[in-house]
């Protein structure tokens, strides 16, 4: 929430106020947030979160008896998003979907774990383009992100390559972790295995 490099403020500024609701927090429950609980229980609600149980969004909408009207996207670092998803049972009520896309992140001033990881704004742009069957939406939503990155690069920011790219090319500046779990994640990144 306090990081200047978040993309959610850009997303909220690009979408009509009544079409984008931002909830701040890490824990959500039916008691504390009945509005979110109602949204999560609707058959037309999806949650965009990659994982073994997630359906490909494009394939899902072809077969879905109810066309999705709401999509929940968790914002945060990758570890924060994982924590929020697994510690909030409300987020397991909607159908879980993921993006199967080959595009690389245009958010070049932030380091991503892999070449296929996208910022929250990029995920929303791709998902909304798929749901609305309109690629112009993706282009429109990504224009401010490209402008932000261009401005930052002109004023001293550096292009940040993904951790995966740095590891594969022997450019990762930090020593390899001693923790076996973290070391295993690094090895998976180097071998392009989906984590």
Residue 143 pLDDT grade (very low, low, confident, very high; cuts 50, 70, 90): very high
**CA–CA distance, 160 with 110 (Å, rounded to integer):** 6
Task: Categorise residue 156: left if φ over 0, alpha if ψ from -120 to 50, beta otherwise.
Answer: left
Q: 73-119, pLDDT tens digit by residue?
A: 999 888 889 999 999 999 999 999 999 988 888 999 988 888 788 99
Burial of 94: CB neighbours in 10 Å, binned 0-12, 13-18, 19+: buried
Give the Cβ contact number of residue 106 at 10 Å: 15
pLDDT of residue 13 exceeding 60: yes
Q: 20-54, pLDDT tens digit by residue?
A: 999 999 999 999 999 999 999 999 999 999 988 99
């Amino acid at each position: 929430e306090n990081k200047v490099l978040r993309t959610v403020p850009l997303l909220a500024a690009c979408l009509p106020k009544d079409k984008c609701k931002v909830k701040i927090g890490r824990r959500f429950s039916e008691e504390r947030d009945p509005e979110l609980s109602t949204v999560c229980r609707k058959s037309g609600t999806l949650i965009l979160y990659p994982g073994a149980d997630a359906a490909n969004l494009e394939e899902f909408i072809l077969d879905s008896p109810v066309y999705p009207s709401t999509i929940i996207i968790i914002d945060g670092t990758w570890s924060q998003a994982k924590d929020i998803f697994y510690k909030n049972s409300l987020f397991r009520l909607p159908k879980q979907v993921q993006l199967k896309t080959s595009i690389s992140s245009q958010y070049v001033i932030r380091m991503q774990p892999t070449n296929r990881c996208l910022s929250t704004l990029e995920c929303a742009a791709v998902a909304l383009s798929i749901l609305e069957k309109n690629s112009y939406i993706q282009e429109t939503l990504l224009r401010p992100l490209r402008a932000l990155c261009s401005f930052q690069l002109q004023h001293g920011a550096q292009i940040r390559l993904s951790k995966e790219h740095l590891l594969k090319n022997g450019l990762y500046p930090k020593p390899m972790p001693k923790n076996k779990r973290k070391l295993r994640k690094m090895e998976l990144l180097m071998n392009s295995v989906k984590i």
